[in-house]
Amino acid sequence: MKIVLTGILGGRGGIQKHLYWLTQVLAEANHQVLVLSNNDISRDNLNFKTHFHDQIQIHCFETQNSLDMPVPQRWWIKGKQFQKLIQIVDKFAPDIYYSIGTSWKFNLIPLFLRHRIPRIYHEVLSGDPSGRYDSRWLVQWFYDELIGQTPTTTKSFISSFNWQKKSRSMAIFPEPLELTATIPDAQPKKIPMGTARAAYFSRLNPEKRAFSLVKHWHLLEDVLAELHIYGDGPDEQPIRDFIDEQGIGDRVKCFGAYSGGQSYADRLLSYDLTVLPTVGSEGAPIVLLESMACGVPFVAYGAGGIPHYGENNPNVIVVPLERDTAKAHQAYLNALNSPHFKDKLEDIGLLANRVEQTSTEELLPFIVSVREMVHRLATHQINCRELQKYYHDHYSYESLKKQWLDFFDEYQTEHQV
């Protein structure tokens, strides 16, 4: 079967990782794959197994710095590039068109092809529209099937975009650390209070709340030995500056961007828990899957599809994220009365001079949950082996490979392609 995949290849993001590994899975199964990528990248940098090269074609939509060009010239260049992509897809003669992400050009291409083929859209964001010019409004009218990254994402997309066609939920590929690194079987461990090491791995954007977490370090310093921040983004330098200003660099550190493979696995394995206090419009961040692959428990706010990772999984903590102001305030009051926080109430008053009260109120339920996780680790209530098995059963490379090949096989039978 001939399959077009569109999105972004290369890089550390969820779409990039998923597109790379899905391409390889389909090539392994002898499908012909055409990948349209939204960035400039050489196939030599992608490390696809050489014997699959004949089954994989890659074409990039060239990103040129054309802001200094007159607007008509800029649009003429984009139009010529778009026309070239249509010609490439028509020549490939695909059986299925699969699109992931919010690129207008990639979501538009199937409307201009010579032949009508099944069109699949995979939603890996929150399912909520980002405005009137969101390309997913186009998907609503011209695509045949919706795949959501989690049931929560699928439900949100159906509601937000009034989707009335076929839909299902399927996870995306994380980096399969069991293939790209050597990961030992998780072992039982008991972490004494005050010695736990926590890490954050993600983009450093305001909605991810990494900076806010660092600002509230004094509410965690008695239960954590260290808090390490990995990632890049607009909050990276402010985090570094704050750490220096407060003189907490011996225990709180910001390391910036991180690579994948063995070095990434080794970093994850060196920590006792990972944290993700995001309150943004999330799909289901795959960094949490990668943490589970190493048998490292996480604490995360239940943004987007994250609660799905906590279903029947007692070795992680997903903190309910209240969007309603009154409910959020009640969650804050409940956090103040938590047994895991009774010794820190005085510090909350001290924090009023450092950060906004709204920031403390928003983050306090998360901080209480981090303290609770540390308590569970100290009292041997976290089963790291069970957590790693949960990953292997639901999200490992072999598990997701079977799910995706079954999906495309079913599609091939249903549409007789």
Give the tens place of pLDDT for each residue, 364-398: 889 989 999 999 999 999 999 999 999 999 999 99
Question: Would the pLDDT of 313 be above 80?
Answer: yes
Q: Which of 34-43, 44-53, 347-356 has the highest mean pLDDT?
A: 34-43
Instruction: Tokens 């450093």: give the residue.
Output: 204
pLDDT in the model for residue 132:
83
Collapse the DSSP code of 266 into the 3-class scheme (helix H, G, I; strand E, B; otherwise coil) and give the result: helix
Single-letter amino acid, residue 297: P
pLDDT in the model for residue 64:
57
Confidence of residue 306 (pLDDT cuts 50, 70, 90): very high
Separation between Cα atoms, residue 295 and residue 286, nearest integer Å: 14
Question: Would the pLDDT of 66 be above 80?
Answer: no
Q: What is the pTM of this model?
A: 0.85
Instruction: Tokens 């939204």: give the residue.
Output: 38
Q: Which range among 66-80, 122-136, 177-191, 259-273 shows the weakest confidence by mean pLDDT?
A: 66-80
Q: How many other C-beta atoms are found inside a 10 Å radius of the C-beta of residue 73? A: 10
CA atoms within 13 A on the CB side of 313: 28
Contact status, residue 172 vs residue 309, Cβ threshold 8 Å:
no
Higher pLDDT, 280 or 174: 174
Q: In the predicted model, what is the mean pLDDT of the chain? A: 86
Domains 2-174+397-415 and 177-394 share a fold: yes
Q: Looking at residues 153-160, what average pLDDT do you find?
A: 94
Please list, residue by residue across 358-383, b when 16 or more beta carbons sit within 10 angstroms of its beta carbon and e when fewer do. Answer: ebbbbbbbbbbbbbbbbebbbeeebb
Confidence of residue 322 (pLDDT cuts 50, 70, 90): low
Confidence of residue 14 (pLDDT cuts 50, 70, 90): confident
Q: Where are the domains of the chain?
A: 2-174+397-415, 177-394
Could you confirm whether domain 2-174+397-415 is CATH 2.40.70.10? no
pLDDT in the model for residue 82:
87
Separation between Cα atoms, residue 220 and residue 417, nearest integer Å: 57
pLDDT in the model for residue 350:
44
Please list, residue by residue across 229-252, b when 16 or more beta carbons sit within 10 angstroms of its beta carbon and e when fewer do. Answer: bbbbbebbeebbebbeeeebeeeb
Q: What percent of the chain has pLDDT over 70?
A: 85
Q: Looking at residues 137-155, what average pLDDT do you find?
A: 93
pLDDT in the model for residue 48:
55
pLDDT in the model for residue 351:
44
Higher pLDDT, 53 or 213: 213
Question: Crossing angle for the helix pair 357-378 and 325-336, nearest 10 degrees?
Answer: 50
Give the tens place of pLDDT for each residue, 75-131: 788 888 889 999 999 999 999 999 998 888 899 999 999 999 999 999 998 888 888
Q: Is 11 left (phi over 0), alpha (psi -120 to 50) or beta?
A: left
Could you please state the CATH topology (level 3) that the domain comprising 177-394 is classified under. Rossmann fold (3.40.50)
